């Protein structure tokens, strides 16, 4: 019997939530090291300098960014279900293996392996959403998906702190790594790849878009620059916010974990609400590109208020602006990926998502390392915060000037 429309919709949203849970786990695994690096015990065990801490925080993103485009091709060629499951198994085991590292170089190698094995997550997830969720609901779907990227650091910060306190840093890596394997049970039992469900998608899958065709439009460069700016700020917070709270503002380890969790949970809530609001406005007849650009740029503008907190002498004010800036960026989270899907062809969405996420994670490679170098060179967090402000302004300009409907890629 053919499933009803209600059943199909239920299945689609169940898949979106399952993808979001996968995102949550992936971000827990990539965040736990930054919590360990904020503890004296972990730093002493490996005799780490600030520059080495920055390199360890960035190592994940080197391999992750490098493999985004191949991962996008894999998603386009083999679908989502099987490549995702294989990658999930590998990254869980690699995360657990961090517990047996004995040197800086082993830690660095394991972070490279973790980045390589997680490379499939974003291009596969975005491909599935592009081919199964209609435009008028896509902002909400993307917001739910990327809520996992915010809930992950929030849960990861709290869980990592508690597990380090109870089981040491070695136990924390083992428990989080092996425990996450439970996710594969519902994934293998329930997840399906689905297929393009609208006439536009079916037609466009027959058209050809080479990489050179995609890069002949200003829109791609605007998307890549804007994505890089957004993620420079996100990955600063993922990798250095715990240390910023502890070292710059003398918060306890437990307070640091709580405020880091609050910041990312706030971002997740704002992402879901703003994604739903943007979808509602589009369903009421507003132009989808204009609405998604408005939300995207508003989020970047609010994120820039982080500089205010860094320049104050009040710890309460600094924590407040850290929370507000990251929560406000949730407006961008919900819409900049949906904006890309609106302007680019479903036939190449895996590759385009891979290219975009490559830019995102090149920023992830640069931000932690540059922050560590600047802190070691200047002795404070002031210089890294000023760099963040400049980067966010560049991102605003890129989205405003280059990401336009008239600059959409055209098929060969």
In a domain, 288, yes or no: yes
In a domain, 297, yes or no: yes
* pLDDT classification of 206: cutoffs 50, 70, 90: very low
| Mean pLDDT to the nearest integer, 123-152 | 83
Total domain count, the chain = 1
Share of the chain above pLDDT 90, in %: 34
Cα-atom radius of gyration of the chain, to the nearest Å?
20
In a domain, 370, yes or no: yes
Contact 144, 17 (CB under 8 A): yes
Listed range (177-181, 214-218, 297-301) with the worst mean pLDDT:
214-218
| Mean pLDDT to the nearest integer, 95-120 | 94
Q: Residue 304: what are its φ and ψ, rounded to 5°?
A: -65, -15
| Mean pLDDT to the nearest integer, 179-189 | 95
The per-residue pLDDT for range 15-59, each reduced to its tens digit, is 999 999 999 999 899 888 888 988 888 988 998 888 888 888 888
pLDDT at 176 over 50: yes
In a domain, 143, yes or no: yes
pLDDT (0 to 100) of residue 258: 81
pLDDT (0 to 100) of residue 156: 85
| Mean pLDDT to the nearest integer, 143-165 | 85
pLDDT at 202 over 60: no
Query: Domain span at residue 78?
Result: 9-196+210-407
* Distance, CA of 128 to CA of 19 (rounded, Å): 9
* Distance, CA of 172 to CA of 164 (rounded, Å): 6
In a domain, 205, yes or no: no
User: Rounded to two decimals, what is the model's pTM?
Assistant: 0.71
CATH of the domain at 46: 1.20.1250.20
In a domain, 201, yes or no: no
In a domain, 2, yes or no: no
In a domain, 412, yes or no: no
């Amino acid at each position: 019997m053919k499933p009803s429309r209600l059943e199909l919709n239920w299945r689609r949203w169940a898949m979106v939530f399952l993808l979001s849970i996968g995102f949550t786990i992936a971000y827990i695994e990539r965040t736990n090291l930054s919590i360990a690096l904020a503890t004296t015990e972990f730093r002493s065990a490996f005799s780490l300098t600030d520059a080495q801490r920055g390199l360890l925080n960035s190592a994940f993103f080197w391999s992750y960014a490098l493999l985004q485009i191949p991962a996008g091709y894999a998603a386009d060629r083999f679908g989502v279900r099987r490549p995702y499951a294989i990658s999930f198994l590998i990254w869980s085991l690699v995360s657990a293996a961090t517990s047996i590292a004995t040197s800086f170089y082993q830690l660095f190698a394991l972070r490279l392996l973790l980045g390589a094995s997680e490379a499939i997550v974003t291009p596969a997830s975005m491909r599935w959403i592009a081919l199964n969720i209609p435009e008028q609901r896509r902002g909400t779907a993307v917001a739910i998906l990327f809520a996992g990227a915010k809930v992950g650091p929030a849960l990861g910060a709290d869980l990592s702190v508690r597990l380090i306190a109870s089981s040491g840093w070695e136990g924390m890596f083992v428990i989080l790594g092996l425990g996450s394997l439970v996710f594969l049970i519902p994934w293998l039992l329930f997840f399906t790849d689905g297929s393009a469900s609208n006439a536009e998608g079916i037609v466009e899958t027959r058209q050809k878009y080479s990489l050179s065709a995609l890069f002949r439009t200003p829109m791609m460069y605007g998307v890549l620059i804007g994505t890089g700016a957004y993620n420079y700020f996100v990955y600063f917070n993922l990798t250095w916010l715990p240390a910023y709270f502890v070292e710059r503002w003398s918060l306890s380890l437990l307070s640091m974990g709580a405020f880091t969790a609050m910041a990312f949970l706030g971002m997740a809530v704002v992402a879901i609400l703003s994604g739903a609001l943007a979808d509602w406005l589009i369903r009421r007849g507003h132009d989808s590109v204009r609405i998604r650009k408005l939300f995207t740029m508003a989020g970047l503008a609010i994120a820039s208020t982080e500089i205010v907190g860094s320049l104050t002498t009040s710890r309460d004010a600094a924590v407040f602006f850290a929370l507000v800036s990251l929560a406000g960026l949730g407006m961008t989270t919900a819409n900049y990926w949906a904006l890309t899907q609106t302007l680019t062809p479903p036939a190449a969405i895996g590759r385009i998502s891979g290219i975009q996420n490559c830019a995102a994670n090149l920023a992830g490679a640069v931000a932690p390392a540059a922050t560590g170098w600047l802190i070691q060179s200047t002795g404070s967090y002031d210089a890294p915060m000023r760099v963040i402000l400049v980067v966010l302004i560049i991102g605003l300009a890129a989205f405003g000037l280059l990401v336009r409907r008239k600059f959409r890629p055209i098929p060969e």
